[in-house]
Structure 1
Amino acid sequence: MKGIKIIYNYSRRDRTGIYAVLIIVIILLYGILGSMYIMELDIYDSIYYTIITLATVGYGDIFPITPLQKIFSVTLALSGVGILAYIVTFIISSVTQNLQDMRSGRIMERKLADIQNHYILCGFGRVGTAVYEELMKRNQKVIIIEKNEEKLEDIEENENVILLNGNATEDKTLKKLNIDKSLGVIVATGSDVDNLFIVLTTRELYNDAWIVSRASKKESIKRLKHAGANKVISPESSGGTDIYFAAVQPNLIHITEKHGVDFVAKELDILRKYNCHLENIEYHLHGIKTPVSRTIGVLDESEEDAFIEKINSNKNVRESLETIYNTVNEVHSHWVSGPDQFFLNMAIKELENEGIVLGVNLSFDEINEFTKQFKE
């Protein structure tokens, strides 16, 4: 979270500098007033005595006589030593911190310049958090922009996650994010006004960007679409998962296949190799437009292995699955997500080489012809 800490440290040093000036002013007033009323000097000699005592020079032309004057002179001299030590420490600390901030800033700039095939998530509230979790399940790279620093404190920054404490409505912030090399911009702040401004600015800067926006109010949906959002999702009727799927549509492929239960393990292995995921399965019945669909979601390697083991070891599970496959003549479809188009295409090509793929992004009529053919 270095990008966040830079902002925090600058504000902290500003406050420290103000406190230092106030302390110096107070001690100068103490020295001048004390010199006038305790040392019984005039204003000019009071200023002179205060400065040479604080600077620990002490020419000896003015010296305390009474016990009160001696106590005053000692406290003033000690204050001078303390101020000097404080100033030296503050200067060293500021220089060191400036060097650290410059180094952190350069690291952040380099990371932002190098990242590609990533998603940009603007806003990290309730909806933004849900979208982030979906991205992490699929090992996607993401830049999170949030103007409330506290919301980012519990997120661990790594090679796939860059945290930026800033305002996504500003042109200068958006220009840092490699949007032209991103997979999509997800606008999920809680303010429809901010969302509208981010969408407008992003579309003006990057005409080809894929933009998905949240709309807190239904009446904002049309405005956001007119502003340039490719997709607008309202959390009133959906949530972070739907926003994620809208964001990954350019990297989501619908494939129709024909294979039996025995090929399921091989299919999962091929997709795993390219970091792709089966998001669902659709069983097609001839003549029925809406397939029977079941959400799969993201399964990790252990969950996939456990599923295959259950098919191989549990007779009832295997027979139930075979019954479903036989009912649809083994014709079914999947929405497959991947890190980008390259890996998706590689996975689909390998499945095609196995001879199980009937087609990609087929229409209902095309799928229906396959179900009719196999039915006969």
Structure 2
Amino acid sequence: MRKITLKLLTELPQKYITTGLILVIILYIYGILGSYFIMDLNLLDSIYYATITMATVGYGDYIPTTGVEKIFATTLALSGVALLAYVFNVILSTFQERMILYSKGARKMKSIERMEDYYIICGYGRVGKVVFKELTERNQNVIIIDKDEKITEKIEDSSSVVVLNKDATDNDLISKLAGEKCRSVILCTGDDVINIFIVLTIRETNPNAWIVTRSSKSENVSRLKKAGANKVISPEVIGGQGLYYESARPHLLSITVKHDLEGIFPEFKLISKHGCTLENIQYHLPGIETPFIREIKKKDYVDGENYKNYLNSNDDKREALENLYKTVNHIHTHVISGPDNSTFDELIKDLEKIETVIGINLTHAQIAEITKKEMESKITQ
């Protein structure tokens, strides 16, 4: 506690300290000169009298007798009281503010310590907001680092979201946060120099950290990669959503399966059970490389139940979906995000028990070849 108090006091705004010292010096000079010329004291006694009068001690060894002396003593005493009150008020007020900020910061760090896994977003600008939206839609833990309090003031801290209004280039801060519990560091600042510096800082202490960064200028892409970034993205090309997908790449699974319409809900139940999120479904038309993609972004099994009830009460929608499944010969790909690769291993084992798993992380070209052969085989039969 002693160290904390000393640190807070030494960090008081310089302008307040300077103003207080200047006022004390001016009043002290006034007291000495007045004591010397008005009270007719020698220099040493003038210093002594000015000191005890400003401090309102008043031992009574020097008593003003004339009107001028009394006016001088009164103004010196009142000014001393007012000045001391001002100085102490400034110190105490600032100290209290800093204590509140320190306490708030300590609570934030405690929240981070309780997080099991989290993403770090450095820079909450236009791109950072999109990345944050993508993460929160998937119920991910997020730490936002941006020194501008105004642009983050609408974000409420919670058990899964913590805002740190600090400088991301602070070595101790980013190095500490980008440890084992950090899934990915996403650099969204528009300054490539700052991004390079942060990448280098992280790499010094966290060689295994997964770092995804934006690059405002194409010529800096290679520099950011050399600095240690795993992925360098141009937001103008793929946007904030792409930054999220790249940040989740170590824990993103693409699994190509084959099942009929009734297999949707048992499949989604398993995905939900393992704490994963179904990002999208890709339907592969026979022999065509580019699939038809449906965005899903669902994690809770309740969503699956709601969709099942929707199909059961809308025959035309169910028929349309059945026709789509028949068109693609029931072959489609799920893109799933999850907490780690070991979870994916368990999920794949469970899915293999209820449906045909054709392949993992296949390219569109590979899937197009598979669907082409499937269709040829069906025609032959």
Deviations 1:313-351 (A, max 9, x none): 112111111111111111111111123334444443333
Q: Which residue of 2 aligns with 1:166?
A: 166
Counterparts in 2 of 1:152 and 1:365: CA distance versus 1, 3 Å: closer
Q: Secondary structure at the match of 2:332?
A: strand
Q: Which residue of 2 aligns with 1:321?
A: 321
1:28 counterpart letter in structure 2? Y
Counterparts in 2 of 1:267 and 1:180: CA distance versus 1, 3 Å: same
Q: Which residue of 1 aligns with 2:225?
A: 225
Of 89-98 and 289-298, more deviation after overlay is shown by 89-98
- Pair 1:276 & 2:276 matched: yes
Deviation at 1:123, TM superposition (A): 1.8
Q: Which residue of 2 aligns with 1:4?
A: none
Deviations 1:56-99 (A, max 9, x none): 23232322233343233223223334455556666766776776
Q: Secondary structure at the match of 1:124?
A: coil
- CA–CA distance in 2 between the matches of 1:312 and 1:14? 70
Q: Which residue of 1 aligns with 2:152?
A: 152
Q: Which residue of 2 aligns with 1:256?
A: 256
Of 206-215 and 364-373, more deviation after overlay is shown by 364-373
- CA–CA distance in 1 between the matches of 2:263 and 2:9? 57
Q: Which residue of 2 aligns with 1:365?
A: 366
Contact 2:144–2:163 (CA under 8 A) maintained in structure 1: yes
Contact 2:282–2:334 (CA under 8 A) maintained in structure 1: yes
Q: Secondary structure at the match of 2:238?
A: coil
- Pair 1:62 & 2:72 matched: no
Q: Secondary structure at the match of 2:290?
A: coil
TM-score relative to the length of structure 2: 0.82
Deviation at 1:195, TM superposition (A): 1.3
- CA–CA distance in 2 between the matches of 1:252 and 1:64? 86
- Which has the bigger relative contact order, CA under 8 A and spacing at least 6? 1
Contact 1:113–1:177 (CA under 8 A) maintained in structure 2: no
Q: How does 1:158-197 map to 2 (within 5 A)?
A: 158-197=158-197
User: Where does structure 1 lack aligned partners over 5 or more consecutive residues?
Assistant: 1-6
Contact 1:212–1:246 (CA under 8 A) maintained in structure 2: yes
Deviation at 1:231, TM superposition (A): 1.4
- CA–CA distance in 2 between the matches of 1:28 and 1:136? 60
2:370 counterpart letter in structure 1? E
Deviation at 1:246, TM superposition (A): 0.7
Deviation at 1:369, TM superposition (A): 3.1
Contact 1:284–1:331 (CA under 8 A) maintained in structure 2: yes
- CA–CA distance in 1 between the matches of 2:299 and 2:182? 25
- CA–CA distance in 1 between the matches of 2:113 and 2:209? 17
Deviations 1:283-322 (A, max 9, x none): 1122222222233345777765543332111121111111
Of 205-214 and 293-302, more deviation after overlay is shown by 293-302
1:294 counterpart letter in structure 2? R
Q: Secondary structure at the match of 2:176?
A: coil
Identity of matched residues, % = 43
- CA–CA distance in 2 between the matches of 1:153 and 1:42? 60
- Pair 1:209 & 2:206 matched: no
Deviation at 1:33, TM superposition (A): 3.9
Deviation at 1:222, TM superposition (A): 2.4
Q: Which residue of 2 aligns with 1:352?
A: 352
Deviation at 1:258, TM superposition (A): 1.8
Contact 1:184–1:247 (CA under 8 A) maintained in structure 2: yes
Deviation at 1:14, TM superposition (A): 4.8
- CA–CA distance in 1 between the matches of 2:319 and 2:16? 73
Deviation at 1:250, TM superposition (A): 0.8
Counterparts in 2 of 1:320 and 1:20: CA distance versus 1, 3 Å: same
TM-score relative to the length of structure 1: 0.83
Q: How does 1:9-28 map to 2 (within 5 A)?
A: 14-28=14-28
- Pair 1:310 & 2:328 matched: no
Deviation at 1:215, TM superposition (A): 0.6
- CA–CA distance in 1 between the matches of 2:74 and 2:288? 97
Counterparts in 2 of 1:53 and 1:318: CA distance versus 1, 3 Å: same
1:318 counterpart letter in structure 2? R
User: Where does structure 2 lack aligned partners over 5 or more consecutive residues?
Assistant: 1-6
1:261 counterpart letter in structure 2? L
2:335 counterpart letter in structure 1? W
Of 103-112 and 44-53, more deviation after overlay is shown by 103-112
Counterparts in 2 of 1:166 and 1:125: CA distance versus 1, 3 Å: same
Superposition RMSD in Å: 3.3
Deviation at 1:237, TM superposition (A): 1.5
- CA–CA distance in 1 between the matches of 2:102 and 2:299? 42
